[in-house]
């Protein structure tokens, strides 16, 4: 038996104060290794949110559309007609850096299980990916592995991957981000929760057998990387999408019966986390006989079985006497089914192995005593402002456009999304396919409704001014949904930050949360689920703060939606919102001048709401043929992307006044949209009535993107530049 020494305790990520608390919970008894392992994963940053709980509690989580907010496997919102959308985003950053294919693949598998365990059939996936600098020696390898893993798992399981992001920045050189999101649909009266109940009810293990993969995955994801991180490859889980597909179908079939009391997937911390969470939520005790756990490796210890993060596994509490009926379903789908324990009234988790009690832990004291830290933090200093006067004018505006449209940030990610099946299930709308719309659009099967889904973040804004950046990430997701004509309903967040024990990093987190809270309240856009991933740094170098927002909206009639692509010549382009030519933190100064400085563009949430509501009303009234929100790169990039989407050109009337042309064209002022319309006077009148700034920007037609001052460039040349970077990079 391994002796519990200070070194062993430290290796489990447990501090001296935390170990003292463990001894107190155990009334002075020294834990054995199995018990110490259980404490280590349950109190890890990944599972306990000990550095973030204080601040997460301040986010708005309620609204008339919210059926279930944070605390369950996924969030649930009402989409009308007795139906709900179930969704969540989660990180698989650390595993994906160590073993990119399996890390990314199992990230997809894990988030799928979070959704279908609630009773929802998954209808789409999204992935927000961030890699290091393209010239870093590992970047190409990581991109190749992660994209293959996402495509390999998602394509095999038969759920379309319809949207997301893929960006590059040197801060992610040693710590990439893989944030996976799944959206599902269920009947409102067939939702399942994880709180265990019923003394004597059987605890059922279903799915794949347990192996040694993923042991200490949760604690590994709660620490910084170092030079030897790749030695942790054995801790990365291995997924099997074909088993996942069987598990989805078997669980949904079981859910059509009346057998289930509670259900929970085995994600981070595996059997430990699932059993503890179910028992704690229901105020129950648990007795498990580990001899009955299906195992694919010989000689597994209790410690290994409880901490394994093997994939495609679920834990179910059944009604008494229904074991044989449930077993038939899982055996039909060729999945393991085992009765591994019972619920008790002891309030303890008691583990038996080979006829002996190998662990006996009080559930509520362990769960309730989970550390909650108020980490020291310092606010991010306000950056020195950058104005147009600080930036030299380009020699040629069209050359600047070509440079920007071909840079890694804005270059087409066709190479990525063509590896994903985004049409399986046949409900992905054409106008909402990758590159065609600001948000992906997925029909709610058998109805006229569609879900608009997106993921977004602007990390450079969050670093420069976390509060303003936090506002912007929520507002940007809200705009993406709005630009399709859909009503934004709710968000899930994935908070990716560096080491929270550093006050400046914790200050970034606190600031982003504050900004997000303001935006969620102003836009009626509550947070219903999410994930926190901290310690994203290597050898002390932190990632840019990256609070990724996944958002869901609703179209009651999908035939009313519009994409970004210009549809016809001789239409009018209208610019919604005010332009000041803000260049601080812009892609323009980064890509053309190598600068990453200045302040974040101001985010006026009242204006965001007002402008977005106007745009949505105009789309729903049939006044708009195309719409694109403005973000990275400003007006000229927005018009170019609209032109490239369908191959129709446009001419911009230069009405920049006193603002330098390059600032007016490339500034990243917020709360702005471009709409194309054949009824400009009607749209302008609607804007005037709503008190929204709007003006004619130009006209559609021709085969080039042109300026009224005379400069132009062919759409096909822009598209070639835009689409060539990624394939050229990947070779």
- Active site residues per annotation: 46, 92
Neighbours of 631 (CB within 10 A): 22
In what helix (H) or strand (E) does residue 220 lie, and over which residues does it extend?
A: helix 217-220
H and E: helices and strands count for the chain: 25, 27
d(CA 725, CA 522): 39
SS3 507: helix
d(CA 10, CA 497): 23
Per the rule left: phi > 0, alpha: psi between -120 and 50, beta: everything else, 60 is: beta
SS3 320: coil
Lookup: tokens for 519: 């935006």
SS3 409: coil
Task: Map tokens 């063509």 to a residue.
Answer: 418
Phi, psi of 542 (to 5 degrees): -85, 155
Phi, psi of 303 (to 5 degrees): -55, -45
Closest CA to 569 of 464, 475, 648: 648
In what helix (H) or strand (E) does residue 723 lie, and over which residues does it extend?
A: helix 715-730
Task: Map tokens 């949760």 to a residue.
Answer: 218
Question: Do 629 and 438 meet the contact criterion of CB atoms below 8 Å apart?
Answer: yes
For 272-287, b where at least 16 C-beta lie within 10 A, e where not — what string? Answer: bbbbbbbbbbbebbbb
Distances (CA, A) of 375 to 15, 55, 99, 463, 502: 15, 10, 31, 19, 9
Quick one: CA dihedral 168, 170, 171, 174, positive or negative?
positive
d(CA 129, CA 467): 23
Q: What angle, rounded to 10 degrees, do the helices at 33-42 and 270-282 form?
A: 70
Quick one: CA dihedral 88, 92, 93, 96, positive or negative?
negative
Going through 635-711 in order, the beta strands assigned E by DSSP cover 650-652, 673-677, 694-700, 704-707
Phi, psi of 219 (to 5 degrees): -75, -35
CB under 8 Å to 62, separation ≥6 — which residues? Answer: 69, 526
d(CA 268, CA 311): 10
Q: What angle, rounded to 10 degrees, do the helices at 33-42 and 16-25 form?
A: 120
Per the rule left: phi > 0, alpha: psi between -120 and 50, beta: everything else, 216 is: left
Question: Do 35 and 62 meet the contact criterion of CB atoms below 8 Å apart?
Answer: no
Neighbours of 338 (CB within 10 A): 18
For residue 424, how far is the Cα from the chain centroid? 21
Helix extents (H) in 343-486: 363-368, 397-405, 414-417, 459-464, 466-482
Task: Map tokens 């080039």 to a residue.
Answer: 704
Question: Do 636 and 687 meet the contact criterion of CB atoms below 8 Å apart?
Answer: no
Q: Taking the CA atoms of the chain, what radius of gyration do you get in angstroms? A: 26
DSSP designation for 70: B
Per the rule left: phi > 0, alpha: psi between -120 and 50, beta: everything else, 283 is: left
d(CA 704, CA 715): 5
Give strand pairing partners of 555: 450
């Amino acid at each position: 038996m391994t002796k519990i020494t200070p070194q062993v305790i430290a290796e489990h990520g447990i501090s001296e104060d935390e170990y003292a608390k463990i001894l107190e919970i155990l009334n002075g008894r020294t834990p054995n290794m199995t018990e110490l392992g259980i404490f280590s994963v349950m109190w890890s940053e990944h599972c306990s949110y000990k550095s973030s709980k204080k601040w997460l509690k301040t986010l708005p989580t309620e609204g008339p559309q919210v059926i279930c907010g944070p605390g369950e496997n996924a969030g649930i919102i009402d989409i009308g007609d007795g139906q709900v959308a179930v969704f969540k985003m989660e990180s698989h950053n650390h595993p994906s850096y160590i073993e990119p294919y399996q890390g990314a693949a199992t990230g997809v598998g894990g988030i799928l299980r979070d959704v279908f365990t609630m009773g929802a059939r998954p209808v789409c996936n999204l992935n927000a990916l961030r890699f290091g600098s393209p010239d870093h020696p590992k970047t190409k390898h990581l991109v190749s592995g992660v994209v293959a893993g996402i495509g390999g798992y998602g394509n095999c399981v038969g759920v379309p991957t319809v949207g997301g992001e893929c960006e590059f920045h040197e801060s992610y050189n040693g710590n990439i981000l893989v944030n996976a999101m799944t959206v599902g649909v269920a009947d409102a009266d067939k939702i399942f929760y994880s709180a265990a109940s019923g003394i004597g009810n059987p605890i059922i293990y279903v799915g794949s057998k347990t192996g040694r993969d993923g042991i200490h995955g949760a604690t590994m994801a709660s620490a910084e990387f170092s030079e030897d991180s790749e030695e942790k490859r054995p801790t990365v889980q291995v997924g099997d999408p074909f088993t996942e597909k069987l598990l989805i179908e078997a669980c949904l079939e079981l859910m059509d019966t009346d057998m289930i009391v509670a259900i929970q997937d085995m994600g981070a911390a595996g059997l430990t986390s699932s059993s503890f969470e179910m028992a704690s939520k229901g105020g129950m005790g648990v007795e498990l006989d580990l001899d009955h756990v299906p195992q694919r490796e010989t000689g597994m210890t209790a410690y290994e079985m409880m901490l394994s993060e093997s994939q495609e596994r679920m834990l179910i509490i059944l009604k008494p006497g229904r074991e044989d009926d449930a077993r038939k379903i899982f055996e039909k789908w060729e999945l393991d089914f085992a009765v591994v324990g019972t619920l008790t009234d002891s309030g303890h988790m008691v583990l038996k192995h080979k006829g002996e009690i190998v662990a006996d832990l009080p559930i509520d004291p362990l769960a309730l005593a989970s550390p909650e830290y108020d980490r020291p933090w310092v606010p991010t200093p306000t950056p020195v402002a950058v104005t147009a006067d600080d930036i030299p004018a380009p020699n040629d505006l069209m050359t600047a456009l070509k440079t920007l449209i071909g840079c890694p940030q804005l270059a087409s990610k066709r190479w990525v999304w063509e590896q994903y099946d985004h049409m399986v299930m046949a409900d992905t709308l054409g106008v909402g396919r990758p590159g065609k719309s600001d948000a992906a659009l997925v029909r709610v099967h058998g109805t006229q409704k569609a879900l608009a889904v997106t993921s977004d973040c602007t990390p450079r804004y969050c670093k420069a001014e976390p509060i303003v950046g936090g506002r912007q990430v929520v507002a940007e997701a809200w705009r993406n949904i709005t630009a399709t004509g859909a009503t934004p309903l709710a968000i899930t967040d994935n908070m990716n930050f560096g080491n929270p024990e550093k006050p400046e990093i914790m200050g970034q987190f606190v600031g982003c949360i504050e900004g997000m809270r303001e935006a969620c309240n102003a836009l009626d856009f509550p947070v219903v689920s999410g994930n926190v991933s901290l310690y994203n740094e290597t050898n002390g170098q932190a990632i840019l703060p990256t609070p990724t927002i996944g958002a869901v909206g609703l179209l009651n009639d999908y035939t009313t939606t519009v994409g970004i692509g210009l549809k016809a010549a001789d239409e009018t382009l209208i610019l919604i919102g005010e332009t000041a030519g803000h260049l601080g933190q812009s892609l323009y100064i980064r890509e053309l001048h190598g600068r990453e400085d200045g302040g974040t563009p101001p985010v006026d949430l009242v204006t965001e709401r007002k402008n977005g509501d106007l745009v949505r009303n105009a789309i729903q009234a049939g006044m708009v043929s195309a719409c694109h929100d403005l973000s990275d790169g400003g007006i000229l990039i927005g018009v170019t992307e609209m032109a490239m989407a369908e191959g129709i050109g446009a001419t911009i009337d230069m009405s920049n006044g006193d603002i330098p042309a390059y600032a007016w064209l490339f500034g990243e002022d917020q709360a702005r949209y471009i709409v194309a319309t054949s009824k400009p006077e009607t749209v302008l009148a609607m804007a005037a009535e709503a008190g929204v700034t709007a003006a004619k920007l130009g006209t559609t037609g021709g085969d080039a993107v042109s300026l009224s001052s005379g400069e132009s460039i062919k759409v096909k040349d822009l598209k070639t530049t835009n689409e060539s970077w990624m394939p050229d990079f990947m070779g």
